[in-house]
Chains A and B, each alone.
Chain A
Amino acid sequence: MQKEVVLSMRNISKTFPGVRALDHVDFTLRQGEIHALMGENGAGKSTLIKVLTGVEEFESGEIRIAGAEGAIINHSPQEAGEHGISTVYQEVNLCPNLSVAENLFIGREPKRAGMIDWKTMNQKARDLLDSLDIQIDVAMAVENYSIALQQMIAIARAVDMSAKVLILDEPTSSLDENEVGKLFGLMGRLRAEGVGIIFVTHFLEQVYAVCDRITVLRNGALVGEYEIEKLPRVQLVAKMMGKDFDDLEAIKKTGESREQTGEVVIDARGIGHQGTIKPFDLEVRKGEVIGLTGLLGSGRSELARSLYGADKADSGELKVNGKAVSVNSPLDAMMAGMAYLPENRKEEGIINDLSVRENLILALQAKKGMFHLLSRKEQEEFTDKYIQLLQIKTADRETPIRQLSGGNQQKVILGRWLLTQPDFLILDEPTRGIDVGTKTEIQKLVVKLAGEGMSVMFISSEIEEMLRTCSRMAVLRDGQKVGELREEELNQNNIMKAIAGGEANE
């Protein structure tokens, strides 16, 4: 039963300075269909949505929507709304201090004699929510309701304003299972009414629970559009990672198997953080390189952050080198011998107006405390050492770090943590945005440090990198640690199978 096409995007291309965000991408959405849009980092998902909703312009291609003559171009979210396209974002865009009814109708309140008619507005709100099977007090301020309910209110507003295409951008990230179920119920009702829903998400299980079709993007290009029944999980994972999955091939890893006999450096039991990572157990031995693998959004960074105290763990116990440690803040983790290179270096790594030298020595300084200032001479020596070691290209020690290229900035942050001589170093996407030559250097450095006794946690989206450096891998899916792969099992296929999950061949 072929449903009517409500939205068709053809040959969409968009370039940002230096990068091709979208390269002749097609996307089709049918009436009464829930269509998942998936892709790893830099795939182009958000750019495609932005182009559709008028936040960004596109260079070539055309967009057609049912009910409008010819190709359309949306110049703003308002215009997209007039064409019947609306978006509900992850950070629910409601005004917390206003009532439910007001949030639903603000900007288009029913009026009587020039004054806002509250009675009618409240009634209309009740009717609208009733039709979506939501029964709440519409006169209460929206902030009194859970995020899940707020999301549904935002969806109700979007649907009431334009009924053709509803884009849900990562709606389930802050919801628990119960709430996700309710959201899916709402989505089902909308689908029955003929609304086309674009579901942007990274949660594998949810995609298989509720979607009809999947479109996969990779590096700005279309990988393909698939019907859900015809795409086994593991094939989906493979397509997202840009790999081929061949059931029959088993590629054995060459090289010596490193015996892991060192003492346990990190012993985590039941560590978890509400909303980002479910409680997990993890052991890391001395000199080991443990990789965290999984799709984008599976919880890799979140796991690392909960260990380090970047997001303070709200459950579980942690022992470092045999001693129980209570990590209330990153400083506690640092004092226990941990170090963390964040994924987002711009927002959480570089202190952009400070010099290379200052950025480099800050963590060590923090460890030493306020009253033990590193002498200028020491600072300069350390800085020179790491500029040399990591081949950091900078005019001077005193150059503000924001003048360096992204890759060199990353090297400075890496140097910052190496300087603290940690027992346990967490690297979250350490080679992102770095040239190929340096990527290799860093991988070699990681192996070398491990050989010298440092334990390293390595998170990367590139499987080959991890295969080259890791002696063990923890696998994550949908915000949970779902398993581990030992050295002997480490190959591409096994990794993808583990990520995809139990019903791999369904």
Chain B
Amino acid sequence: MSKISSVVKKLTSYRLFLPIFCLILVLLSNLIKTPAFFEVSIKNGVLYGYIIDVINRASDLVILAVGMTFVIAVSGGTDISVGAVMSVAAAVCCYILAGGQQSVNEFQNPYILGVLAAMAAGVLCGCFNGFLVAKMKIQPMVATLILFTAGRGIAQLVTKGQITYIRVESYKMLGASIPGIPIPTPVFVAFLVVAITYVLIKKTTLGMYVQSVGINPRASRLLGIKSTWIIFLSYAFCGICAGIAGLVASSRIYSADANNIGLNLELDAILAVALGGNNLGGGKFSLLGSVIGAYTIQALSTTLYAMSVSPDQLPVYKAIVVVVIVSLQSPELKKMWKKLSAGRAVGKEVA
């Protein structure tokens, strides 16, 4: 009996145990609901199937979760402006590509310009947040609240209050697929972002510095790490990620819908990071964990949709999951649990 418990103990001690366990759980429940869940076929030259859909739709969230991981790891705070920044980036891109018009059938300016503009918008927003948090030492949730409020308004201004449409086949490719390649493009983009970030972490000092600052900012300062700079960079990076995610989301609907792009994705991004086993208070992080968390959430949404839950009602379940996870992470709860089991142990002794 004890051998099994020791195996279980070893399994649960792996960092990625929680995220992988949750993912498997959700995938299984999907399978139960939809027996054809894992079936994959090729339609119109592109991979097709429920599971493909999940992976595809999760891409925006994966990209956001990558950026959010850094922000949470380095400062224990969150960036709730990511959804709004996506909207701004999409608006800027479509504005440039449409040359200021509301609906176009061909690019008014080179595609690459639109892409760069979107990423620049993302970076700028990130730098704004980073400046407030790192330099002005304002609490992260408050600092990012500003763009959360104003971001969509700015996007509306750029698109002049209308939805800007880019009815160009090549624009849709980013959100759909490139002819000749069976894998949907968003999946590629997500993969690329994760891969580049991974390289950044391993091949530069960024990963180590972020963790060091997040775990012990005092010690980090004493050994020569410029924590202000690192925090600033993390928020800027999160901004870029939001910009890229905005591009993908915009491409899916070949337009810039300031009100709806990235709507409610903030909570999903935070949830993804938490589900990934990362401590919401900051410190050591696992990029892979957040990525797995993002796919888990998307799969969870799919399960719930299959159970006839509407998109508007979905947040209820996500909220419950968040509350459960952070409660479990709470040291206070652990203390209470200890007291309770100590009391029970004493009771046993006496008996």
A496 and B42 alpha carbons, distance in the complex (Å): 87
Chain B 106-158 interface residues, beta-carbon cutoff 8 Å to A: none
Chain B 198-217 interface residues, beta-carbon cutoff 8 Å to A: 203-206, 208-209, 211-212, 215-216
Of all chain A residues, the one with the shortest Cβ separation from B205 is A370
A366 and B230 alpha carbons, distance in the complex (Å): 12
Identify which of A192-200, A282-290, A342-350 touches chain B.
A342-350
A373 and B205 alpha carbons, distance in the complex (Å): 6
Cβ of A416 within 8 Å of any chain B Cβ, yes or no, is: yes
Whether B219 lies near A349 (C-beta < 8 A) is yes
Given the interface contacts A331-B226, A334-B224, A362-B223, does A350 sit within 8 Å of B216 by beta carbon?
A: yes
Contacts of B320 in A (CB 8 A): none
Q: Report which of B203, B211, B225 forms a contact with A366, defined as CB distance below 8 A.
A: B225
Given the interface contacts A352-B215, A353-B283, A373-B203, does A330 sit within 8 Å of B209 by beta carbon?
A: no
Of all chain A residues, the one with the shortest Cβ separation from B211 is A354
Whether B208 lies near A365 (C-beta < 8 A) is yes
Whether B211 lies near A370 (C-beta < 8 A) is no
A430 and B334 alpha carbons, distance in the complex (Å): 35
A352 and B218 alpha carbons, distance in the complex (Å): 12
Contacts of A365 in B (CB 8 A): 205, 208
Given the interface contacts A330-B223, A342-B222, does A351 sit within 8 Å of B209 by beta carbon?
A: no
Contacts of A373 in B (CB 8 A): 203-205
> Residue-by-residue, is A324-348 near B (CB-CB < 8 Å gives 1, otherwise 0)?
0000011100100000101000011
Given the interface contacts A365-B205, A365-B208, does A351 sit within 8 Å of B215 by beta carbon?
A: yes
Cβ of B220 within 8 Å of any chain A Cβ, yes or no, is: yes
Cβ of A367 within 8 Å of any chain B Cβ, yes or no, is: yes
Of all chain B residues, the one with the shortest Cβ separation from A339 is B223
Cβ of B160 within 8 Å of any chain A Cβ, yes or no, is: no
Nearest CB of A to B225, in Å: 5
Q: Report which of B215, B218, B222, B226 forms a contact with A353, defined as CB distance below 8 A.
A: B215
Contacts of A354 in B (CB 8 A): 208, 211-212, 215, 284
Of all chain A residues, the one with the shortest Cβ separation from B279 is A353
Cβ of B221 within 8 Å of any chain A Cβ, yes or no, is: yes
Whether A329 lies near B212 (C-beta < 8 A) is no
Of all chain A residues, the one with the shortest Cβ separation from B229 is A370
Whether B219 lies near A350 (C-beta < 8 A) is yes
Contacts of B218 in A (CB 8 A): 347-348
Q: Report which of A329, A350, A352, A416 forms a contact with B221, defined as CB distance below 8 A.
A: A329
> Residue-by-residue, is B84-112 near A (CB-CB < 8 Å gives 1, otherwise 0)?
00000000000000000000000000000
Whether B219 lies near A371 (C-beta < 8 A) is no
Cβ of A363 within 8 Å of any chain B Cβ, yes or no, is: yes
Whether A351 lies near B212 (C-beta < 8 A) is yes
Cβ of A404 within 8 Å of any chain B Cβ, yes or no, is: no
Contacts of A340 in B (CB 8 A): 222
Of all chain A residues, the one with the shortest Cβ separation from B284 is A353
Whether B208 lies near A362 (C-beta < 8 A) is yes
A387 and B204 alpha carbons, distance in the complex (Å): 24
Nearest CB of B to A496, in Å: 32
Given the interface contacts A351-B219, A353-B284, does A366 sit within 8 Å of B224 by beta carbon?
A: yes
Cβ of A102 within 8 Å of any chain B Cβ, yes or no, is: no
Cβ of A358 within 8 Å of any chain B Cβ, yes or no, is: yes
A370 and B208 alpha carbons, distance in the complex (Å): 10
Whether A330 lies near B221 (C-beta < 8 A) is yes
Cβ of A180 within 8 Å of any chain B Cβ, yes or no, is: no
Given the interface contacts A353-B284, A370-B209, does A347 sit within 8 Å of B219 by beta carbon?
A: yes
A366 and B221 alpha carbons, distance in the complex (Å): 10
Whether A330 lies near B224 (C-beta < 8 A) is yes
A348 and B217 alpha carbons, distance in the complex (Å): 9
Cβ of A134 within 8 Å of any chain B Cβ, yes or no, is: no
A370 and B204 alpha carbons, distance in the complex (Å): 7
Whether B222 lies near A348 (C-beta < 8 A) is yes
Nearest CB of A to B284, in Å: 4
Chain B 173-217 interface residues, beta-carbon cutoff 8 Å to A: 203-206, 208-209, 211-212, 215-216
A373 and B204 alpha carbons, distance in the complex (Å): 6
Whether B221 lies near A362 (C-beta < 8 A) is no
A331 and B211 alpha carbons, distance in the complex (Å): 18
A350 and B216 alpha carbons, distance in the complex (Å): 8
Given the interface contacts A330-B221, A366-B224, does A352 sit within 8 Å of B216 by beta carbon?
A: yes
Contacts of A175 in B (CB 8 A): none
Nearest CB of A to B221, in Å: 6
> Residue-by-residue, is A364-392 near B (CB-CB < 8 Å gives 1, otherwise 0)?
01110011010000000000000000000
Contacts of B222 in A (CB 8 A): 310, 330, 340, 342, 348-349
Given the interface contacts A349-B219, A351-B219, does A371 sit within 8 Å of B224 by beta carbon?
A: no
A347 and B222 alpha carbons, distance in the complex (Å): 11
Given the interface contacts A362-B212, A370-B205, A373-B203, does A351 sit within 8 Å of B220 by beta carbon?
A: yes
Contacts of A350 in B (CB 8 A): 216, 219
A365 and B211 alpha carbons, distance in the complex (Å): 14
Contacts of B220 in A (CB 8 A): 351
Of the candidates B205, B222, B284, the one having the most CB atoms from chain A within 10 angstroms of its own CB is B222
Whether A370 lies near B206 (C-beta < 8 A) is yes
Nearest CB of B to A409, in Å: 12
A310 and B221 alpha carbons, distance in the complex (Å): 8
Nearest CB of A to B10, in Å: 15
Of all chain A residues, the one with the shortest Cβ separation from B220 is A351
Of all chain A residues, the one with the shortest Cβ separation from B226 is A331
Of all chain B residues, the one with the shortest Cβ separation from A342 is B222
Whether A329 lies near B223 (C-beta < 8 A) is no
Nearest CB of A to B215, in Å: 5
Of all chain B residues, the one with the shortest Cβ separation from A350 is B219
Nearest CB of B to A396, in Å: 15
A366 and B219 alpha carbons, distance in the complex (Å): 12
Nearest CB of B to A505, in Å: 42
Contacts of B208 in A (CB 8 A): 354, 358, 362, 365
Given the interface contacts A331-B226, A342-B222, A363-B223, does A351 sit within 8 Å of B206 by beta carbon?
A: no
Given the interface contacts A353-B283, A373-B203, A373-B204, does A367 sit within 8 Å of B224 by beta carbon?
A: yes
Of all chain B residues, the one with the shortest Cβ separation from A368 is B205
Nearest CB of A to B289, in Å: 14
A268 and B272 alpha carbons, distance in the complex (Å): 52
A350 and B219 alpha carbons, distance in the complex (Å): 7
5 tightest A-B contacts by CB? A366-B224, A331-B224, A353-B284, A363-B223, A334-B224
Q: List 26 A-B contacts (CB under 8 A).
A: A329-B226, A330-B222, A331-B224, A334-B223, A340-B222, A347-B219, A348-B218, A348-B222, A349-B219, A351-B212, A351-B215, A351-B219, A351-B220, A353-B215, A354-B215, A354-B284, A362-B208, A362-B223, A363-B223, A366-B223, A366-B224, A366-B225, A370-B205, A371-B204, A373-B203, A373-B204
Q: What residues make up the interface of B, taking CB atoms closer than 8 Å to A?
A: 203-206, 208-209, 211-212, 215-216, 218-226, 283-284
Known: A331-B224, A370-B205. 8 other contacts (CB 8 A): A330-B222, A330-B223, A350-B219, A353-B215, A354-B211, A354-B284, A358-B208, A366-B224
